[in-house]
């Protein structure tokens, strides 16, 4: 949906994934969409360079999130929120509805 604007369907999915998950790391996104890890990493680094995303190290993992200091954060989030409305329930369930509540260690499900 945002492909004409973002010039990449992958970038749209990456941004939507981060928006709905709060923070995410490259291999998590790549596995979720079955994208090449290098493609995801390049998109993430370009978005970070442009000030759209921030990144931080947590242990050995580099997490990316939408930069709260990005001048167009509010507008970008409104655009992503509207995009979600045009996505099928099935796709939303599959990619954009994360479990946010904690899961106790050792719990089988």
Partner 1 sequence: MKKNRSLKKLAVIISDHLFKNGINAVLSGGACVTLYTQNKYISYDLDFVLLSHMDSKKIKKVMREIGFRQEGKYFKHEGTPYFVDFLSPPLSVGEEPVKEISEIKEGKKTLRLLSPTDCVKDRLAAFYHWNDKQSLEQAVLVCNNQQVDLTEVQRWSRNEGMSQKYEVFKDDLK
Residue ranges that bind partner 1, judged by CB under 8 A: 49-51, 68-69, 71, 73-74
**Residue 69 Cβ, how far from partner 1 at the closest point, in Å?**
5
CA 73 to chain CA mean position, Å:
14
**Residue 13 Cβ, how far from partner 1 at the closest point, in Å?**
22
Query: Measured from the CB atom, is 73 or 92 closer to partner 1?
Result: 73
* DSSP string over 17-80: HHHHHSEEEHHHHHHHHT--HHHHHHHHHHHHHTTSEEEEEETTEEEEEE-TT-TTHHHHHHHH
Query: Measured from the CB atom, is 28 or 48 closer to partner 1?
Result: 48
Residue carrying the six token digits 């970070």: 48
Query: Measured from the CB atom, is 49 or 99 closer to partner 1?
Result: 49
Query: Measured from the CB atom, is 29 or 66 closer to partner 1?
Result: 66
**Residue 49 Cβ, how far from partner 1 at the closest point, in Å?**
6
| Residues constituting the chain | 109
């Amino acid at each position: 949906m945002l492909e004409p604007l973002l010039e990449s369907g992958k970038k749209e999915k990456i941004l939507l994934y981060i928006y709905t998950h709060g923070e995410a790391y490259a291999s998590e996104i790549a596995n979720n969409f079955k994208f090449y890890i290098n493609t995801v990493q390049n998109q993430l680094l370009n978005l970070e360079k442009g000030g759209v995303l921030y990144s931080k190290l947590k242990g050995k993992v580099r997490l990316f999130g939408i930069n709260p200091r990005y001048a167009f954060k509010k507008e970008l989030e409104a655009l992503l929120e509207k995009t979600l409305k045009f996505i099928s329930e099935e796709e939303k369930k599959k990619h954009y509805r994360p479990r946010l509540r904690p899961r106790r260690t050792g719990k089988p499900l």
